[in-house]
Amino acid sequence: MTKILDQPRYVCALGAMRTVQSIPGAIPILHSGPGCAEKLNNNAEGSSGHFSPNIFPCTSISEKEVIFGGNDKLKATIENALKVINADLFVVLTGCTSEIVGDRVEEISREFQRQGKPVVYVNTPGFKGNNILGHDWVLSGIFDQLLSKEKVVTQKGCVNLFAGPPLYDPYWLGNLRTLEHLLTRLGLKPNTIFGHDRGIGNIKKIPAAELNILVSPWAGIQSVVFLHDQYATPYLHYPVLPIGAFETSKFLRAVAEAAGIPPEVVNSVIAESEAEYYYYIERYANTFLELRIMSKRFAVVSDAQYSLAVTKFLTNDLGMFPTKQFITDDTPKKYRSLIENEFKKLNYGIETEVEFSTNGYEIHEEIAKVDFAGIPLIFGSSYEKKLAARLEGLYINISYPMLEKLVMNSSIAGYSGGLKLLEDIYTVGMSRLVL
């Protein structure tokens, strides 16, 4: 039965244009209606820094193409884009209309490929899924059509690193760079494709990696499985974005085991990092224990990545108690049990219930009934701001949509990211104190 979707936390699969634009030198070509790109663009998320969504080539399908087909218009749009745009990769993305009409997108794109043009295609109609699924489809499509099918000689220590969907995750770039830094400290050579100074050259290095690492509850699994099937590259799926000392140290040990790094190396890195981390924690221990600033119960309303990561951080590192947690990204059912089990792996024998829901109204009404035993502490998107005000609680914006906060290169991953998140949380709490 069809349900009302109130306060959506994602967009349609065509929103995976953000994944394309986050690869330096890559630009999407949209085979869709004229308003799709504009509606999917969110200025608060920024852009790739190379191409603005306002210049994405688009076929701007009209009634004429619905009746007679849009094949000719798509071919002309690709031809003209190749002439006037200085890009390394053109990714044709389909909207709902072109998919329903049945245009020959694959055939036309393959024709350009045979001419040696850097054109790939990905089917991303909104009726097939959301932008998080689309992120995976885009990566798999690029890997399948751009990379050689033959296995190349592996590079010692090279690992491909994938994390949350770019731009959709407000902290995507900072988190990715933090994870890169952690892997480098272990003596590895992380290869990523998103953000400054990465791009097509790094994509072409992907088959040479000894290991693929995915840091995500479910987004990106299809891509690393594809690489495993194509190149027999083993992969580590680490379902929790590591925030703070406990989870970050656990992550480093998992990577070390998968990559064959000696225990003394990883133990040395962890010991040094934890010593600095807990130095800062100890300096402000009295602040963290002050109940006037912060109560001990919290709720998270976010995608699977941040609902899980923040819950583990606050419980395992700070000893807080989670109420029921909510995941709003329409997680595919086949991944839900894995995520639910992670919510049961908290320190001190603590477990928490998790609900997968896309209805913001119902979520807010349920949270309003919770006894927080003090000031409510609510993490989420801009939608949760009014809920926190209604409950006279504290509100921390950590996920999409993020409308009142600018994130440029900040990270909440790793040891330093945990300290950054604590600063954000306690700044909000201390702002309520009266002299």
Query: Is residue 32 classed as helix, strand or coil in its secondary structure?
Result: coil
Q: Measuring CA to CA, how many Å separate 33 from each of 90, 155, 399?
A: 18, 44, 28
pLDDT at 233: 96
Cα–Cα dist 277/293, whole Å: 22
Please give the structure tokens belonging to residue 196: 């400054």
pLDDT at 54: 74
pLDDT values of the chain reduced to their tens digit, one per residue, 435 residues: 456 567 889 999 999 999 999 999 999 999 998 888 778 876 556 565 567 777 889 999 988 888 888 999 999 999 999 999 999 999 999 999 999 999 999 999 999 999 999 999 999 999 999 999 999 999 999 999 999 888 789 999 999 999 999 999 999 999 999 999 999 999 999 999 999 999 999 999 999 999 999 999 999 999 999 999 999 999 999 999 999 999 999 999 999 999 999 999 999 999 999 999 999 999 999 888 887 888 889 999 999 999 999 999 999 999 999 999 999 999 999 999 999 999 999 998 999 999 999 999 999 999 999 999 899 999 999 999 999 999 999 999 999 999 888 999 999 999 999 999 999 999 999 988 865
pLDDT at 328: 96
pLDDT at 49: 56
The upper half-sphere exposure of residue 272, i.e. CA atoms within 13 Å in the direction of its Cβ, equals 10
pLDDT at 1: 42
Strand pairing category for 354-356 and 211-215: unpaired
Contact 20, 138 (CB under 8 A): yes
- Map out the domains of the chain with their CATH numbers: 13-146 (3.40.50.1980), 158-274 (3.40.50.1980), 279-430 (3.40.50.1980)
pLDDT at 117: 97
Strand pairing category for 297-302 and 377-380: parallel
Cα–Cα dist 42/17, whole Å: 12
Positive or negative torsion for Cα 64, 68, 69, 73: negative
pLDDT at 94: 96
pLDDT at 43: 55
Q: Which residues does residue 302 pair with via DSSP β-bridges, in sequence order?
A: 327
CA proximity to 145, closest of 90, 100, 87, 97:
90
pLDDT at 38: 76
Cα–Cα dist 126/341, whole Å: 30
